[in-house]
Every structure is written in C-alpha cells, then in structure tokens.
Structure 1
Amino acid sequence: MEEFGRLFSEFRSSATRIETLDVYSVPEERDNLDLYRSGAPLPPDRNEEWARSIRECVAAGKYMGRVHIIDHVLTPYLQFEIDWYYAVNGAAGEDIRFIFRDDVPDIPYTDTWLFDDEIVVDLSYDRSGELLYINRNDDPERREQARTAWREFYVRSFPLADLLAKVRGAELEVPRSPLGLRPAWAKEHACASKAGRT
C-alpha cells in the first residue's frame, strides 16, 4: 500500500484508471456514504485533500483520468460517488469518463491503475466490492494489455458532463434511495421532466 501510494506523487505524465464495479466497499467511505444516504447537505470541503493533489498534478502538466463502466440504471453507490467524489475531482481537473457495459470492448481488462503508460497496478475485489489485494504487474504482456484497454475504453467513453446530460434528458434512470431522496444533480432532471423538457 505504501508503494502504491507513492506512485500518485511520483508519476511523471499520466495516471489512468479503469473502474469495473457498480459498488466498491471501502471502510473509509462508510461514514460519508451513511451521511449521503441521510440526505444531509454535502460538506463543501469533501475530498479536498485528493482534489488538491489533482490540481497540483494538472498544474504541473500531468494527466489524471478514469473510465468507469456503468449500466443504464445508476446504482445508489454510483450516485454517491458522482456527488461526493467525481464532481469535486472533475472540477479539480481529473478527466472523469464513463462507458456503458454494452459498449465495453471484447479485450482483456480488469480494475487497473496505469501510471505513465508503463506501471500497471491491478486491483482485485470480491463480489461485494471489497478490495482483496493490489498487484503491481511488470510483465510486458500485461503492460500492453493495460495500455490497449485504456485506449479502447477511452475512445468509447463519454465525460461526466455528458452523463449528467443523459440523466437530465431521461436517457439514464436514477432510482430514488429508500429514503425517497434523489442526488442533487438529478433533481434538475425531475423538474425538467415535469415541465415537459428533455
């Protein structure tokens, strides 16, 4: 974990991520997720430390980006992730993108961080989204697989702004939480639908 953490401060040009799951079970997120599900106002300083790191990287001319596989119905966890993290990270300069599961290319891929198009770090999760292990893989064949996966995922993906537009245009369904809550970015969609706008 310590070596993995250093990669985020030591990479020279790019850090890219493919995310494959609808839900990630991260112990450090549980309090934030509970707060989000309660409908409490979002803390304006949420994820600020990571956002500061993104701003510093972008200011230094580095690229940070990710592509997250999604279905046409967004899970409550993805709603949380968009509101709590992606909105903040995107504003800081990270290129947040999405790909529909039926557009995923038929090539080898997994949850991966790729640093400088050279260093491959694969992440393995169980079915509940809990991290099992992190593996740096220096095999040249795996490196080429990871490079190809990133390129192919990227060209088929679309940015966060387009995802929000799809929600507001009713192309994507955002179910209400058990408390009847909708994420802030989906409320405009609800109003637009009532007004007959698409």
Structure 2
Amino acid sequence: MLLRLNNEPDLWGSLFAECKRAAFHLETLDAYAVASESEPLRQFLAGEPADTSWFDPWRTLMQDTTSRGVTVRRVRVVTEPLIDYQRWLLTLTPENITAGEDIRYLPRHLAGPVPTEDYWLFDDERVAFHARDAANRGLAMVVTDDPGLVRYCVDVRNRLWESATPFTEYAGT
C-alpha cells in the first residue's frame, strides 16, 4: 500500500502527469479557505469585474492533462440555496470546462451519504485525499493506492456522477 503525505505544490503536477486515463474530483464542502481565491472572491462579492488570471496555472494543468486524452470529471455536492462561495464557483465553472473538465452539481439533499473528505481519484488506482484544518485550509495531500479505499471512492464516484446534473443544466435552473 502506497501512502504519501505531501504538501509540496509540485505533487499536483506529478499526480496529473502520471494519470493515463481518468481523474475524478469530489468536492463536498460548501466553502474552502484557499489563499489564492480570497481576492477574486472579494471582487465577486463587491460586484467588481472578474480577473481570472490567478486561475491560469490550473487551467494550464487541465489543458495539458486533457490534451493527452485523460478525462477529468468533478462533482460538487452543494447545499441549496448556494452560499456566496458556491455562487462564485458557479461563475468560474466555465473556466474549468474550457480547460477540459466535465463538471456536475448535486444538491446535498439529493446526494445521500457522501464522504466528509474531498478526494481526487486517478485511473481508479490511486486516491489523493485533502487534509484540511478546522477552517478548511488545505494542509497536505494524503495519497494512497489501498484497494479498499480506492474501491470505496470508485463506488462513491459512480453513484454521485449518475445522480449529478451537468453544469449547463444546473446553471440554467
């Protein structure tokens, strides 16, 4: 069983570079405390024009990943009505989609049981869990290939993906 605890920024690049077929991200929190998002979120709440240049590194990573034929999918489990953070993410989701991600939304009240930890699933072989503090600030990633954890994450993905609504339909409601 591979188990890595890592808070190095280049871990993301490595995980996506090693991914051959598919990456899936499950988001279960209503808000995240990501330092690089603070100013863009403040601008959104103030009604100021959006500057998405801070998103460029992720956009590039997703474009590089999907150009190799890797599918990248994401489900956001959200509480309705959406809080400000999720309303802001909804306006940014076209950036993710343009970069190659397929994103779906699932209202929490329709999701059934969901894990309390977000994760990335790579090629149905490896899982990277987000380690967060009490304020939802990212601390590190815990990466494992434990077959039981991977199978659990695959099952959760399959169940939630089928129930979730594609972004274009969700945003139109």
> TM over 0.5, yes or no?
yes
2:153 to 135, 146, 158: 146
Instruction: Tell me which amino acid in the other structure corresponds to 1:161.
Output: T
Counterpart residue number, 1:80? 88
Partner of 1:102: 109
Residue 124 of structure 1 pairs with residue 131 of structure 2? yes
Give runs of ≥4 in structure 1 deviating > 4 Å.
Answer: none
SS at match of 2:172: helix
Q: Would the alpha carbon gap of residues 72 and 13 (structure 1) be closer, same or farther in structure 2, given more than 3 Å must change?
A: same
In structure 2, distance between residues paired with 1:108 and 1:33: 26
Whether 2:48 is the aligned partner of 1:40: answer: yes
Match of 1:136 among 143, 148, 151: 143
> Could you tell me which amino acid in structure 1 is paired with residue 43 of structure 2?
L
**Which structure has the highest strand share of the two?**
2
Query: Using the alignment, how far apart are the partners of 1:107 and 1:35 within structure 2?
Result: 31
Aligned to 1:31: 39
CA contact (8 A) 1:99 1:157 kept: yes
Q: Sort the Cα spacing of 1:19 and 1:82 in 2 relative to 1 into closer, same or farther, 3 A.
A: same
Secondary structure of the residue aligned to 1:47 is helix
Three-state SS of the structure 2 residue aligned to 1:120 is strand
* Closer, same or farther: CA 109–23 of 1 in aligned 2, 3 Å: closer
SS in 2 for 1:135: strand
Q: Tell me which amino acid in the other structure corresponds to 1:20.
A: T
Number of aligned residues: 165
Conservation of the 8 A alpha-carbon contact between 2:28 and 2:114: no
Q: Is the 8 A contact 1:23 1:128 kept in 2?
A: no
Q: Which has the larger radius of gyration?
A: 1
2:58 to 47, 50, 57: 50
Are positions 1:164 and 2:161 aligned together?
Answer: no
Q: State the partner residue of 2:3.
A: none
Q: Which moved more, 1:47-56 or 1:134-143?
A: 47-56
> How high is the TM-score relative to the length of structure 2?
0.85
Larger relative CO (CA 8 A, sep 6+): 1 or 2?
2
> Does the Cα contact within 8 Å between 1:14 and 1:116 map onto a contact in 2?
yes
How far is 1:105 from its partner? 3.5
Residues 63-89 of structure 1, C-alpha deviation per residue, up to 9 Å, x if partnerless? 0010010122011001112223x1211
- Deviation at residue 137 of structure 1 after TM alignment: 2.2
Change (3 A) 1:32 1:107: closer
Q: 2 CA distance for matches of 1:124 and 1:44?
A: 26
Q: In structure 2, give the amino acid aligned to 1:158.
A: T
Q: Quote the RMSD (CA, aligned, Å).
A: 2.0
Cα deviation, residue 22, structure 1 = 0.5
The answer to whether the 8 Å contact 1:109/1:145 transfers is: no
Aligned-pair distance for 1:14?
1.0
Q: How far apart in 1 are the matches of 2:62 and 2:12?
A: 16
